[in-house]
A and B are shown apart, each in its own frame.
Chain A
């Protein structure tokens, strides 16, 4: 029973974690920005989903899955725009100075936290799929009761991850991203607009964080909070470092390792729920002691 629980829940959370970490690794690969505000985009995603879904509930009446999905799409797009603006205003002037980027992004995370506190107050608004829809009904997989919303999260995240993988390896913009991550100057010489590409990548990264946030929050805690940015940040950077910064394959495998490790600790260790946040960090430290460049990060570039 325990093992089945670990297998099912581990798989579900791992897929979303991989999606969350992919955003972090993409922006590092393309413009060498260690974006410590990645968790804030996660937080903003949950809040925006709450805002749009309650707006649509007022407009069309509650309980419709279609309006919820519309709210999800709008929230993700909104966070993408916020990502572009953030990059343009705050990160662009200091790109290239690693420490300054970290200082500014962590300050941005605090700015977003305080803005949310100013607007919403220290409350925990609900982030959930409409009650009564098929998404909140449970089913049995391997003898474990799982809600459809979790299955949706798993399917969406894996589908999106694989399509993004194809996008980055095959599409024109994806190829440009890889070129920039391998050699920025030569990519510029080849006529790639690196500035625009960086902004696009930032938008993509923020959107991935927002989507992961909505998928995770609707199936686990069901509420947003202004302080919810730290755990996903720790999660994404430990996954990314596990797999090697800038490695896409690494973020998928790192996501699975961390997801399973977290579920194992949460289920097996007594009082494990309180120290779940530590698990990704501990796994990261242990792996780095053995392999200083992460599991797949031989070169610091976007790998296939």
Chain B
């Protein structure tokens, strides 16, 4: 009895929520994100969202390469690292401002993607995955090699990079204008790059890329220059991956070997799997889930709750945090292999079908829909 009411309540709620057209949902999401700094969010939470934005750019670029083109890359950190190190080196040796170094770094990143694309074109499937995984490991180790330390700074990397908005007033306890400006910058970059990638993925080129994912031989037989399109996917993906690296390095003011690390190689993979692979919008959702899970729930909320309930966390909790996080990721991947965003869209499509069958849904958006049908 109660369950039936609950279910009815849920379905009417779901029908109301899912009935909102996706474009409006995106708009709403954007408005919420735009207004977030206005509500006086603490700088720590703001920095979590900044990180989420940067990682979202990174994961979206990965999704274009893997989810749409099917070229499994487990070493996307190579682009991230190239971006961060080339901006850092340009600043260190030539003292160039940010607005010049980032375009040069983007160029470097796409040239590097072009060069790495060659082995990528020759090998397939798991071979490609493992080879791409090797690239950042090689460079990350070479950076720590003692003959190269004078150039790349070794373990500590290149420090003291300027912030994006150093001309703004210094942070005060009440308000941190620099952080807010950085937030809007990353949000803008995320918006622009995801729109560009979404447009590419849904253009004619994008259809060709999906055809390579589905059947490379068949698309070759249709007269598609598979090599060209694969290289193109590599380069576009590398370009945006590099952008994420450039932004991150100026946010953290440092470029160091972990930028080539395994964690960063797998962050976009995990994020995309959480959000939904091959959807382009999925990674954006996924990166927010990832960082909220990692940086908010486990780092911030759980200790506070424990403090509230007078439970002292043991010192080993530092290790348990990553353990819990990876366990959650494993469970999510096994439970929803198509991602959380995909799960939601599947639900949405199901509901739409159900509503077409019997007109029980609410009528708020009916006019909109009728317009679309005509």
A residues contacting B by CB (< 8 A) are 28, 34, 90, 93-94, 97-100, 102-104, 106-108, 110-111, 114-115, 117-118, 121, 230, 234, 237-238, 241, 245, 270-271, 274-275, 277-278, 281-282, 284-285, 288-289, 292-294
**Chain A nearest CB: distance from B15 CB in Å?**
31
B243 beta carbon closer than 8 Å to chain A: no
The listed residue (A103, A275, A288) touching B119 by CB distance below 8 A is: A288
Cβ contact within 8 Å between A118 and B316: yes
**Chain B nearest CB: distance from A156 CB in Å?**
28
Cβ contact within 8 Å between A28 and B131: no
Taken together as a complex, chains A and B put the C-alpha atoms of A104 and B129 apart, in Å, by 14
Cβ contact within 8 Å between B146 and A271: yes
Question: Which residues of A lie under 8 Å from residue B127 when comparing CB positions?
Answer: 241, 245, 288, 292-294
Cβ contact within 8 Å between B146 and A100: no
B162 beta carbon closer than 8 Å to chain A: no
Given contacts A97-B337, A281-B137, is CB(A292)–CB(B123) below 8 Å?
yes
Question: Which residues of A lie under 8 Å from residue B124 when comparing CB positions?
Answer: 292
Taken together as a complex, chains A and B put the C-alpha atoms of A48 and B199 apart, in Å, by 53
B305 beta carbon closer than 8 Å to chain A: no
Cβ contact within 8 Å between B319 and A118: yes
Question: Which residues of A lie under 8 Å from residue B72 when comparing CB positions?
Answer: 98-99, 102
The listed residue (B134, B266, B270, B319) touching A114 by CB distance below 8 A is: B319
Taken together as a complex, chains A and B put the C-alpha atoms of A95 and B327 apart, in Å, by 18
Interface on chain B toward A: helix, strand, loop, or mixed SS? helix
Taken together as a complex, chains A and B put the C-alpha atoms of A117 and B146 apart, in Å, by 29
Query: Among A102, A103, A238, which residue has the most Cβ atoms of chain B within 10 A?
Result: A103
Cβ contact within 8 Å between A289 and B144: no
Cβ contact within 8 Å between B333 and A100: yes
Given contacts A103-B273, A234-B137, A274-B145, is CB(A114)–CB(B119) below 8 Å?
no
- Encoded as 1 (CB less than 8 Å from any A CB) or 0, chain B from 115 to 151 comes to 0001100111111011101110110011011110000
Cβ contact within 8 Å between B330 and A111: yes
* Interface members, chain B 265-309 (any A CB < 8 Å): 266, 269-270, 273, 277
Cβ contact within 8 Å between B337 and A241: no
Taken together as a complex, chains A and B put the C-alpha atoms of A285 and B131 apart, in Å, by 7
Cβ contact within 8 Å between A278 and B330: no
Taken together as a complex, chains A and B put the C-alpha atoms of A110 and B133 apart, in Å, by 16
Question: Which residues of A lie under 8 Å from residue B333 when comparing CB positions?
Answer: 94, 100, 103-104, 107
Question: Which residues of A lie under 8 Å from residue B327 when comparing CB positions?
Answer: 107, 111
B334 beta carbon closer than 8 Å to chain A: yes
Question: Which residues of B lie under 8 Å from residue A271 when comparing CB positions?
Answer: 145-147
**Chain A nearest CB: distance from B319 CB in Å?**
4
Question: Which residues of B lie under 8 Å from residue A270 when comparing CB positions?
Answer: 147
Cβ contact within 8 Å between A238 and B134: yes
Cβ contact within 8 Å between A117 and B122: no
Question: Which residues of A lie under 8 Å from residue B266 when comparing CB positions?
Answer: 103, 106
Question: Which residues of B lie under 8 Å from residue A97 when comparing CB positions?
Answer: 337
Question: Which residues of B lie under 8 Å from residue A34 when comparing CB positions?
Answer: 126, 129-130
Cβ contact within 8 Å between B146 and A289: no
Query: Among A28, A104, A284, A289, which residue has the most Cβ atoms of chain B within 10 A?
Result: A104
Cβ contact within 8 Å between A241 and B323: no
Count contacts between A and B, CB distance < 8 Å. Answer: 125
Taken together as a complex, chains A and B put the C-alpha atoms of A234 and B146 apart, in Å, by 22
Taken together as a complex, chains A and B put the C-alpha atoms of A270 and B253 apart, in Å, by 32
What are 11 A-B residue pairs whose CB atoms fall within 8 Å in the complex? A94-B333, A98-B72, A107-B326, A107-B330, A108-B326, A114-B319, A118-B319, A271-B145, A275-B141, A285-B119, A285-B135
**Chain B nearest CB: distance from A231 CB in Å?**
10
Nearest 4 pairs of A and B residues by beta carbon: A114-B323, A281-B134, A292-B122, A117-B319
**Chain B nearest CB: distance from A291 CB in Å?**
9
Question: Which residues of B lie under 8 Å from residue A98 when comparing CB positions?
Answer: 72, 125-126, 129
Give 10 A-B pairs besides A99-B269, A241-B131, A292-B123 with Cβ atoms closer than 8 angstroms.
Answer: A99-B66, A103-B333, A107-B330, A245-B127, A275-B145, A282-B138, A285-B119, A285-B138, A288-B127, A289-B119
Cβ contact within 8 Å between A102 and B334: no
Given contacts A102-B269, A107-B270, is CB(A274)–CB(B319) below 8 Å?
no
B329 beta carbon closer than 8 Å to chain A: yes
Taken together as a complex, chains A and B put the C-alpha atoms of A181 and B278 apart, in Å, by 29
Cβ contact within 8 Å between B131 and A102: no
Cβ contact within 8 Å between B326 and A110: yes
Question: Which residues of A lie under 8 Å from residue B126 when comparing CB positions?
Answer: 28, 34, 98, 245
- Closest residue of chain A to B116 (Cβ to Cβ) is A285
Taken together as a complex, chains A and B put the C-alpha atoms of A230 and B122 apart, in Å, by 26
Cβ contact within 8 Å between B277 and A234: no
The listed residue (B74, B129, B134, B277) touching A284 by CB distance below 8 A is: B134
**Chain B nearest CB: distance from A265 CB in Å?**
11
The listed residue (B119, B131, B144, B273) touching A100 by CB distance below 8 A is: B273
Taken together as a complex, chains A and B put the C-alpha atoms of A281 and B137 apart, in Å, by 8
**Chain A nearest CB: distance from B65 CB in Å?**
12
Query: Among B118, B127, B144, B270, which residue has the most Cβ atoms of chain A within 10 A?
Result: B127
Cβ contact within 8 Å between A241 and B130: yes
- Encoded as 1 (CB less than 8 Å from any A CB) or 0, chain B from 310 to 340 comes to 0000001001101100110110011001000
Taken together as a complex, chains A and B put the C-alpha atoms of A61 and B133 apart, in Å, by 46
Question: Which residues of B lie under 8 Å from residue A278 when comparing CB positions?
Answer: 137-138, 141-142
**Chain B nearest CB: distance from A151 CB in Å?**
30
Cβ contact within 8 Å between A284 and B131: yes
The listed residue (A99, A102, A274, A282) touching B146 by CB distance below 8 A is: A274
Taken together as a complex, chains A and B put the C-alpha atoms of A271 and B333 apart, in Å, by 42
